[in-house]
Structure formats: structure tokens, C-alpha cells
Structure 1
Amino acid sequence: MNYNFSVSLKNKYIFCEVAKSGCSAVKKELWRQELMGVPLPEQFVKAHRNPHAPFEQHLLIKPFQLGQTGFNDLVRDPSVVKWAVVRNPYSRALSGYLDKVCRNEPQFRNLAPNIAKLRGTEAAEVDHATVTFEEYCTALSLFEDPRFFDPHWRPQYYHICGDIIPYSHIVKLETLNEERQNLSKILGLREMTFKEGSSHATGSNSKIHEYFNKNCRRIIHEVYKQDFEKFNYPTEL
């Protein structure tokens, strides 16, 4: 929770980041806006601009700093904007594969036991380079509880606590730039600009038909069924 939720008391909003849904670009811009007019040493700003740093180094307030009662009060306060950015489950799932599996990032360890179960072997014997996209999709379907997913492929509606937090705005990554002017007004910010990061970009939006067959589509639709329904994403590719 402390990593996913960020609070601005200055601008009265709670933002929930969703991995592989533009969170790095959004966090960088929110941090930039939060620091406007704040006299801080340049070396401090430079040292705290990494959106993937531990949450203690983030430049917005975290739930643990408010305490459970303080955070819950903000969640219930109708004047506080609660918002998140979500993404088409097909392209998000593919982005997770291309970034975390194909590049052998640490998050792959979350999935390796499921791959091993499919292969009848041990997780330590699973080589990331041999994992196909279809195998990855099947492994996602083996998680018995959404809590067990790594955040980079966890179902989004569960991740943002959609049944608990009364969200004011759910913005789709696909239309984020088109909505930035209106979103900026809602948040009381200057017009935001989002610069896509390059370190974790995968170009998955243009590779959907290259990787998805009928079985992959069926599995991802089933695993992320609630995301498709709650966020009104089409089931066709």
C-alpha cells in the first residue's frame, strides 16, 4: 500500500499507481508539480527523481506517514480527489512479459514457480529465455489469489482497491494525453505533461497481434475479466 498510494495534501488528491500503466511518467509529473515554488537544493531534487526508488524516497506523502486513521479520513473525504491510471489488460499483460520476463528482471521470480509447475520442474531450473508468451499467460492463470501476483501483472481493479476506495476518476492510459488538460484542472495543477520513460518501455501496443493467439486471448480475458468489465475495455484485440 505504501508504494502504490501517494497523497498530496497541498492539492488534495490520492493517486494509486498501477505498474505497467504509465506510472513512472505520471509520478515524475506529479512530483514536478508538487515541488513548484518550493525552495529545495538542486542536489536534493536530483537525488529524488527516480520513480522506481523505495517508497520512503518518494516526493509525495505515503499512507504510513498519515497513519491508518489519517489515511482513511482522506479516503472518506469527498473533497479529496481519488484517482488512478489503468491500461488495456491485453497490452499491459504483454508489456509485463516483454519487460519483466524477457529481460529477466527480479519480478520474474514471482512467476517462475508457476512456470515450473507447468513444466514439472523446479523454479530454479526455469530459464527466462525459454518462457513463451503463451506459457507466461498460462502461468498467470495459476495464481489462486490476486494478492500473490507481482504488481506488474496483478489485476488492476483489485490492485487499486476498487471495491473499497470511492474513486473520483479512473483515467485510461490510452487517452491520458487527451485528458491531461481536464485532469489538471480537476487536480488543481498546472497543465501536466507526461514524458514516457525509456528504461521499461516495451512497445507492446504495436505487438499485440504478433504475440496473441486465441488461447492467449482467452486466458488473459479470464484472468483480467474484472478489469475488462469495470474499466470498459473491449474484449476483442
Structure 2
Amino acid sequence: MGFPGTWMTTSESMVYRVVPKCACSTIGQIMFYSDHGEFFDGDVHDATAGLHKWALEDSHAPIERVVRGHEAYAFTCVRNPYSRILSSFFDKICGIQRNGKRYRGKLVPLLVQKYGIEVGGEDGKQEFDQIKSFRRFLLFARDTIRWRRPMDPDIHWSAMSGHVSTFIVNGGRYDHIFFTEKFNEGMQTVLDAVETPHGVTLDEIPRFNESQGHGPERAHPVEDYFDDLSMHLVYEIYKRDFVLFKYDFENPGNKMPIGEIDLDEVHAKLGD
């Protein structure tokens, strides 16, 4: 199976397991900059040179060698499950993607038809009942994850623990897992632990939020989208994420972690 979703600097200074919707664009650009002294011109997800990626055939051998030999600092980044699934909804379901089309072609028409979801019209800019539509999307996300229907779960809303685990199961080990909500602190820990061809000053790095502007603005605070039933669904889908990554299930309005991540626990529980 190898190391899907794994990126590595060409200098082999650091290895990153991408978790979608968890600052991956910014992290990728920092990695690119640390090697080349400049940012990738465009969305770093589109880069096919200047960064090793498991999706690129030529990157397989170096990534495999470095990860299995633990020759570079390995890390990933996680996010509060409530705000992550909400972000996925506004970006992927309501938003127009960077190719000018809807995400995954027939997905949105399917959701409109089968789940009664509204997405803000053709351009995603019209007014609609965001809370009602999001809660219906949550049912769909649960159906994809529990029963793999009407389609397999998408990487943007499948559980973070699933992404994080493939790296461990296939022979990798994380040196650090940090929180999107404490980004500078977590990323600085990574940068302090490695030597890079070009220095990175985090305070001067822009945030590369590639999903920004794709969809409608969120009209309400996070907690307004989650009633008792929605919270139950979120817990059913993301229980392991809440437990392992120390987020507050009881209060959707509290985006901050309520504890420190125990790396030994993560490796033990996700390494099966």
C-alpha cells in the first residue's frame, strides 16, 4: 500500500502526512519554501516537481526509504472535527472548485436529489438555509462512512484517524502531531527540529487557504449548525478523532483541544 497522502521535501528534511482540511495548503507551501526559497506559484496540491509526493511515481522510492528508515522528521496536523466537517461542506459541496466546476461532477446534483440539500444556486452565491442543508449533508457523510453508499467516503470528510493511521500501519512513525488551531506553535516545533536549505519565519508566511472564496460565507457560529442529533452523528463518525486528538465533543463551540496528544497512544491505537 505504501504511503498515500505523504509529502516530503526534496532535501529530505521533513515528511508530512497530509490530512485534508487541516492547513495542508499552508504546510505544503512552507515545505516547498524551505527547499527553494520561494513559494509554489499556484495551489501546492498541483505541484508535480519541487516536492516529493506519493502520488508521483518517481517519489515512491525516496519516500519509502526515508519513512521506513525514519531518516527525516515526520509529522501531521489535525483539526476540530466539528469545524472540519463544516469546512468540507462549504468548500466541497456549496463551492465552485478551482476548475470552475462543482466538486466531483455529479455529486452535488445527487445530494440535491436524494437528500434535499441546497447549495446556494448555480454559483453558490444565493441565499439558502445553511443549517438545514448542512444537517442533511451530515446524514450523507455518515451514510458514505458507515455503509459506503451512495458512494465511498471522500477524503475531505473521512475521519482524520484513518488518514493518520495509514502512515503508521505501513511502517512510519510520527515525531509530532499538532493542532490547526495552534498552527504557529505546532509548525514551529517542526521547524526547530529540522535543518532546511532556506530559513522559514512563520510570522511572515501567508495562510494559503485554497478553499477560501469557493463557496458561500458561513452565516452562523459553528455551534448553531449542530443540534443534539447532529452531535450524535458527528460522534458516530468521528469518535476516534475526538478521543485520540483531544477535542471537546460536548461543546461544538469550543474549537480548541482540551488536552495534549499522546503520540504513544496514537501509534498503539492506529497501528493495528
Q: Which category of TM-score, normalised to the shorter sequence, fits these structures?
A: 0.7 to 0.9
Q: Helix, strand or coil for the counterpart of 2:28?
A: helix
Q: Provide runs of 4+ in structure 1 moved above 6 Å.
A: none
- Aligned residue among 84, 87, 95 for 1:103: 95
In 2, distance between residues paired with 1:115 and 1:222? 24
Please tell me whether residue 62 in structure 1 is matched to residue 91 in structure 2.
no
Specify every segment of 5 or more residues in structure 1 that has no aligned partner in the other structure, as ranges: 37-44, 120-125
In 2, distance between residues paired with 1:80 and 1:16? 13
Q: Report the RMSD for the aligned CA atoms in angstroms.
A: 3.1
Find the counterpart in structure 2 of residue 197 from structure 1: 208
Once residues 135 and 178 of structure 2 are traced to their aligned partners in structure 1, the CA distance between those partners, rounded to angstroms, is 29
Q: Paired residue for 1:150? A: 154
Of 183-192 and 91-100, more deviation after overlay is shown by 183-192
Q: Give the Cα separation in 2 of the matches to 1:19 and 1:187.
A: 24
SS at match of 1:83: strand
Q: CA deviation at 1:209?
A: 1.6
Show structure 2 runs of 5+ residues with no match.
121-127, 253-272
Letter in 2 for 1:134: R
Q: Provide Cα deviations, 1:6-64, integer angstroms capped at 9, x if missing partner.
A: 1125243211222211111111111111103xxxxxxxx68x422255352x5211232
Aligned amino acid, residue 24 of structure 1: S
* 1:112–1:81 Cα change, 3 Å: farther
Q: Which one-letter code corresponds to 1:231 in the other structure?
A: F
State the number of aligned residues. Answer: 219
Alignment of 1:138-217 (within 5 A): 138-143=139-144, 144-145=147-148, 148-160=152-164, 161=166, 163-164=168-169, 165-189=172-196, 190-193=199-202, 194-201=205-212, 207-217=221-231
Against the structure 1 CA distance between its residues 184 and 70, is the aligned structure 2 distance closer, same or farther, given a 3 Å change threshold? closer
Aligned-pair identity in percent equals 20
| C-alpha distance in structure 2 between counterparts of 1:229 and 1:88, whole Å | 11
Instruction: Quote the residue 1:41 is aligned against.
Output: none
Give the direction of change, closer, same or farther, for the CA distance of 1:16–1:198 in structure 2 (3 Å limit): closer
Where does residue 31 of structure 1 map in the other structure?
Answer: 32
1:114–1:142 Cα contact (<8 Å) kept: no
Q: Which of 86, 90, 109 is the matching residue for 2:82?
A: 90
TM-score, structure 2 length as denominator? 0.68
Q: Contact 2:12 / 2:66 at 8 angstroms: preserved in 1?
A: no
Distance 2:230 2:8 in 1: 37
- The DSSP-based 3-state class of the residue aligned with 1:234 is coil
The verdict on how the C-alpha distance between 1:139 and 1:17 changes in structure 2, with shifts beyond 3 A counting, is same
Alignment deviations for residues 111-146 of structure 1 (CA, whole Å, 9 cap, x no partner): 654664446xxxxxx753377010011110001359
Structure 1 residues 72 and 112, CA gap change in structure 2 (3 angstroms): farther
Equivalence for 1:123: none
> Is the Cα contact below 8 Å between 1:18 and 1:85 reproduced in 2?
yes
1:128 and 2:119 aligned: yes
- 1:220 is displaced (CA, Å) by 1.3
Q: Deviations over 1:138-177 (max 9, x none)?
A: 1100013599222221211112325413222111101111
